[in-house]
Structure 1
Amino acid sequence: MMVKLGILVAVAAFLQAVSGASLGVVYTEGGMVQGENMRLGFGRYMDVFKGVPFADMPGRFEKPKRHPGWDGVLKATEYRKRCLQVNLIMTETRGSEDCLYLNIWVPHGRSVSTRLPVMVWIYGGGFLAGGSMGANFLDNYLYSGQEISDRGNVIVVTLGYRVGTLGFLSTGDSSLPGNYGLWDQQAAIAWVNRNIRSFGGDPDNITIFGESAGGASVSFQTLTPHNRGLFRRAISQSGVALCPWGVNKNPRRFAEEVALKVNCPTDEKMAGCLKMTDPVLLTMAGTLSLSSSPDNPLVENLALSPVIDGDFLPDEPYKLFHNAADIDYIAGINDMDGHVFTGLDVPSINSPLTDTPIEDVKRLLASYTKDKGKAGLENAFSTYTSNWGSNPSRETIKKTIVEIGTDYIFLVPTQTALYLHASNATTGRTYSYVFSEPNRMGGIGRPYPSWMGADHADDLQYVFGKPFTTKLGYWPRHRDVSRYMIAYWTNFAKTGDPNKGEHNVPATWPQFTSNGHQYLEINSKMDKNYVRQKLRMRYVHFWASVLPNLPTVISE
């Protein structure tokens, strides 16, 4: 009898191990959903839900509305289409207007998880493109939350939001107020706050994080008064609300250009006509010129971005940091974030055998400082060439162009946002970083120069654990960087302190304060000596203090 009982117990244990921990059917406010359960290893399981609606199909140029719900059990096992957008080379569109869905990764041990921290990802793409699943290579999606979720023991959510014309076109008044994409993100965050408990998440411990336009979006979500109490922490990677491309100060001009392209009038009938226009035509009319030069840099062409609408953004972003006083905040950049832009503006920087004329340095600086005229250019040029000596090398000139782009487009606005966050904070903590793992395409015989650092978006593969999913594509040092980033990011999501949580970290990351300006440099070689302070202080001082105090010569 005892032997039989023992066999039954063993069979039951085996069945439990095989079936694993799973949420099964989950009840949400819209109805029941069922995802896919995976066994990841001994005693480790994961439920993945793809394509869960967080809002109804949006009306054209309208705020998102709650989903009316569904009958039966929604099978949430496939990614839904991304929001309607132009393709990478801007020759045609892809995606759908029906796109307000999110994806959820829930890790389990031997038993089903409860009250896990939640990390909500907002993708980048210049407010023009992107999707909740990211780029796909052999069914390996960039924004799969599996590695962060499994390694960090957090729930990961990725969301879709409208981009391009349909997400951000604005007439600058109440007829087409704009910011629809930001409202979509906000609706998704609110949905997560209301529903994540059913998935084993803690609605009182939500972190939002994003990169590039997604990093700026995260920043906007911390600044709007509409999110009070919905999340506790935020991470902006390579993008904040204060970036020069973050807010469109003259949206009407671009709206009229779009109207003319789709044969709509530019008078009081413009908004009505645009709402009736074919969405594919509208999306194509919102494409940007990719031909750029030092005199017409690419960053100046990013016209479809958030606007100060008096509602989502009641004021200039720099005046809204009191709304983020209780939010723990990490913000940082990649050390050569500007390379992707300046490489298009000044292609010679990527060619090791070609000189880059000093004149190109001046032309680029003249574009970035144009409203301050000759004095702006002279001050900028002397700031950036002070350590050149009398005969700067080819490499020095090329690197200087990348530094100028990085400082202007990303680094200085991020440092300013960190300073404003720290000086407005009550309970919120502030952390600053620079990511400097060299780009894998740099070196002799490769597309990028050997001095190349971390380009724009280079951090994404490490945050999302790609060196673990595609081991053959990476060296062991890349797995180290990925491990470090996942540890800091998920510790922060759990506790508000990137050093405290379930994971050991290679260096104690100090808080950024208004007078200490400390930051962490993140790469594969890092140790406790990688804590630094006053990041590029001289250049931050130039862009944030010297230049704004020069008299303006051109008014918009």
Structure 2
Amino acid sequence: MLLGIYKIYFLFILNISFQVELANSVIVETENGKIRGKIGENYISFLSVPFAEPPVGEYRFEPPLSIKKNWSDILDCTQMPNECLQWNHFILHGDRLLGNEDCLYLNIFMPKLNSTELFPVVIFIHGGAFQYGTGNVFRPDLLMQNPNVVVVTISYRLGPLGFLKSDKNNISANLGLKDQRLALQWIKRNIKNFRGNPEQIVLTGFSAGGASVHMHLLKEDIQNLITSAVSFSGTVFCPWVLVNDAEEKTELLASMLNCTSENTNSLKTCLKAQPAENIVRAIGKLQFAHYYPFRIFGPVIETNSIDDSFLNQEPENIIKHSNIANIPWLIAYTSEDGGYNAAELMKKSDKGEYIDEFWEKFDDLAPKALFYEEKLSQLEAKKYSELLKQKYKIYENDTNLEKYFKIQKIFTDELFAKGSLKAIKLHKDFTKSHISAYIYENPSPKGIGNLISERDDIDFGCTHGDDVFLMFNVPHRDSGVPFRDDEIEISNKFLSMLKEFAKTGLVNFGDVPLPENKKDKSIQILHITKNKPVIMEFDDIL
């Protein structure tokens, strides 16, 4: 009897054939052929599902291509995919190189229920400053505790492999964003085969992923692929997102590898012949200290003449003067988001703590770390550095820890809060979209700041990702750092919020609706703590 149950797990559900070949696997049909997934305790996982041709060889530095030839055999999708080749911030010592150039894959997680129902879909784009990261570490177990949702994580090219730019050498920009776009198109066409509802899709992203979501929303036709969106700790207006000097950085990286641009395409041809590892390792030579600046290559404004451009105007102009996606959008950030980027300053060394050097050279280093060097003249940058020291009341006789927390606040405001508030203001004033927002302030017992600084003796506050890690399982919260009771309660509300947002476009935190931001009104944001949430109002953007 049991053997018979295992032999056929699902059969002809909504004309979709699910066939169990082994006791712990399921076969699903996609547009490219059959794939085998693995049955877990609460859900079925399909890992390393290809959505594009591998971007290697002649396809390096080229826009992603849909899979050219379908496979005839059953493709095994039970093992995690390669992480995209990267210079990884979380490798704290030694060689930071990680991953593989062949990396354009999806991870898909579907309910194990024998049902004819189609479920809402949560798509997640990982962060990492467009330079590192992977969807592999964001596991769906929390979302799948009550398996009434389909979850998909996306991989995309990173660093120089995904974001070089050279118009004169025909290197197409924003390849990583174009990878994401192709993935969304594949998901829309195929998600029903995994019992996902193609008319109930929320696109979510964290940090660089959140900024990516925002950039997708600037293209009107994205509403043909998704029905709602969430940007966690990142919008296009965060200063680390758009790169102003990408052409110069591309030339500089190429020169490190003895590639020149004397003739059209010569630089591109030379870079295609280089080992991919050498190209990515060059990032380390472009950082002035530790992992600063944390973004070298990233999204750019493309030339209007490029047919496949992803972003060809300043985002503010697009929002004010163009038709963009009219779908509900949730923007979120944490009260000390900058604790991730600043925590490096509290690392210990033989000479003390890095904050000593950073403070001593603040006028020179802050413009690089906070990216205003890319937008201001040298004199203007120096004046802005002095203004920040005055505004946040940083004094020479402050202790290192006192200096640190004031600098962390600068990092939070400059790198995250300002960009989030500007996005809310522009979208509410110039679009018809439903714009909601929250600020999360409930520190994790061990956050990203602790990991980066390698210190447990400092409470960094509610840092980057403390909210997201209550929705997606990540290693540092799964390894001996259990959720507190208040975190469990908040986590359950966040999980319900995401699923309901995907399903209806309405966003509620428990029984509290998030306020809609409307034209000619102050910005309203729900402040979420372990106590009752309250609405905060902002009349300006800091």
Match of 2:302 in 1: 309
Deviation of residue 402 (structure 1)? Answer: 1.1
- Distance in 2, Cα, partners of 1:506 & 1:519: 16
Deviation of residue 343 (structure 1)? Answer: 2.8
Deviations 1:52-86 (A, max 9, x none): 11111121101111112100222221112112223
Deviations 1:196-224 (A, max 9, x none): 11111111221111111111111122123
Match of 1:185 in 2: 180
Deviations 1:77-136 (A, max 9, x none): 111211222343572533222211111111144x325321111111111211122212xx
Match of 1:554 in 2: none
Match of 1:328 in 2: 328
Is contact 2:199–2:226 with CA below 8 Å preserved after alignment?
yes
Residues 451, 100 of structure 1: alpha-carbon distance in 2 compared, 3 angstrom cutoff:
closer
208-217 vs 80-89, greater mean Cα deviation: 80-89
- Distance in 1, Cα, partners of 2:398 & 2:333: 27
Match of 1:411 in 2: 417
- Distance in 1, Cα, partners of 2:390 & 2:341: 22
Matched, 1:154 2:119: no
Q: Which amino acid aligns with 1:273?
A: C
- Distance in 1, Cα, partners of 2:174 & 2:413: 26
Q: Which amino acid aligns with 2:66?
A: R
Match of 1:253 in 2: 248
Which consecutive residues of structure 1, in runs of 5 or more, have no partner in the other structure? 1-10, 41-45, 135-142, 542-556
Is contact 2:122–2:498 with CA below 8 Å preserved after alignment?
no
Match of 1:513 in 2: 518
Deviations 1:435-468 (A, max 9, x none): 2121314899x92565531122333321115699
- Distance in 2, Cα, partners of 1:448 & 1:260: 41
Q: Which amino acid aligns with 1:51?
A: S
Indicate the SS of the match to 1:190.
helix
Matched, 1:522 2:516: no
- Distance in 2, Cα, partners of 1:273 & 1:248: 23
Q: Which amino acid aligns with 1:85?
A: Q
Question: Sequence identity, in percent?
Answer: 28
- One of 434, 437, 446 as aligned partner of 2:442: 437
Equivalent residues in 2 for 1:161-240, closer than 5 Å:
161-173=156-168, 175-224=170-219, 227-240=222-235
- Distance in 2, Cα, partners of 1:374 & 1:291: 18
Is contact 2:388–2:410 with CA below 8 Å preserved after alignment?
no
Equivalent residues in 2 for 1:93-172, closer than 5 Å:
93-109=97-113, 111-134=114-137, 143-151=138-146, 153-172=148-167
- Distance in 1, Cα, partners of 2:477 & 2:4: 29
Is contact 2:254–2:260 with CA below 8 Å preserved after alignment?
yes
Matched, 1:78 2:73: no
Match of 2:340 in 1: 340
Deviation of residue 232 (structure 1)? Answer: 1.6
Residues 122, 492 of structure 1: alpha-carbon distance in 2 compared, 3 angstrom cutoff:
same
Match of 2:292 in 1: 298
Q: Which amino acid aligns with 1:410?
A: F
Deviation of residue 36 (structure 1)? Answer: 1.8
Q: Which amino acid aligns with 1:437?
A: N
Is contact 2:139–2:473 with CA below 8 Å preserved after alignment?
no
Equivalent residues in 2 for 1:455-534, closer than 5 Å:
455-465=463-473, 473-499=482-508, 505=510, 507-514=512-519, 515-523=521-529, 525-527=530-532, 529-534=533-538
Match of 1:27 in 2: 29
- Distance in 2, Cα, partners of 1:225 & 1:267: 39
Deviation of residue 290 (structure 1)? Answer: 5.2
Is contact 1:338–1:455 with CA below 8 Å preserved after alignment?
yes
Is contact 1:325–1:421 with CA below 8 Å preserved after alignment?
no
Is contact 2:61–2:161 with CA below 8 Å preserved after alignment?
yes
Which consecutive residues of structure 2, in runs of 5 or more, have no partner in the other structure? 12-17, 20-26, 304-308
Deviations 1:140-180 (A, max 9, x none): xxx12232134372110011111121111111456112211
- Distance in 1, Cα, partners of 2:381 & 2:477: 50
Match of 1:62 in 2: 62
Equivalent residues in 2 for 1:441-456, closer than 5 Å:
441=446, 447=455, 452-456=460-464
Indicate the SS of the match to 1:146.
coil
Is contact 1:308–1:314 with CA below 8 Å preserved after alignment?
yes
Indicate the SS of the match to 1:485.
helix
Indicate the SS of the match to 2:310.
coil
Q: Which amino acid aligns with 1:118?
A: V
Deviation of residue 29 (structure 1)? Answer: 0.9
- Distance in 1, Cα, partners of 2:30 & 2:156: 20
Match of 2:260 in 1: 265
Deviation of residue 361 (structure 1)? Answer: 6.9
Is contact 2:358–2:365 with CA below 8 Å preserved after alignment?
no
Q: Which amino acid aligns with 2:39?
A: N
Is contact 2:121–2:201 with CA below 8 Å preserved after alignment?
yes
Deviation of residue 399 (structure 1)? Answer: 2.4
Q: For the pair shown, which has the larger CA radius of gyration, 1 or 2?
A: 1
Is contact 2:364–2:382 with CA below 8 Å preserved after alignment?
no
Is contact 1:235–1:329 with CA below 8 Å preserved after alignment?
yes
Equivalent residues in 2 for 1:283-294, closer than 5 Å:
283-287=280-284, 291-292=288-289
Using structure 2 for the length normalisation, give the TM-score: 0.81
Using structure 1 for the length normalisation, give the TM-score: 0.80
Q: Which amino acid aligns with 2:344?
A: L
Deviations 1:210-243 (A, max 9, x none): 1111111111221235635111211111111111
Q: Which amino acid aligns with 1:78?
A: Q
Deviations 1:341-391 (A, max 9, x none): 22335769xx99x99998777776666566335654554444333xx9999
Indicate the SS of the match to 1:103.
strand
Residues 17, 476 of structure 1: alpha-carbon distance in 2 compared, 3 angstrom cutoff:
farther
Indicate the SS of the match to 1:433.
strand
- Distance in 1, Cα, partners of 2:167 & 2:94: 25
Deviation of residue 469 (structure 1)? Answer: 6.5
Residues 420, 482 of structure 1: alpha-carbon distance in 2 compared, 3 angstrom cutoff:
same
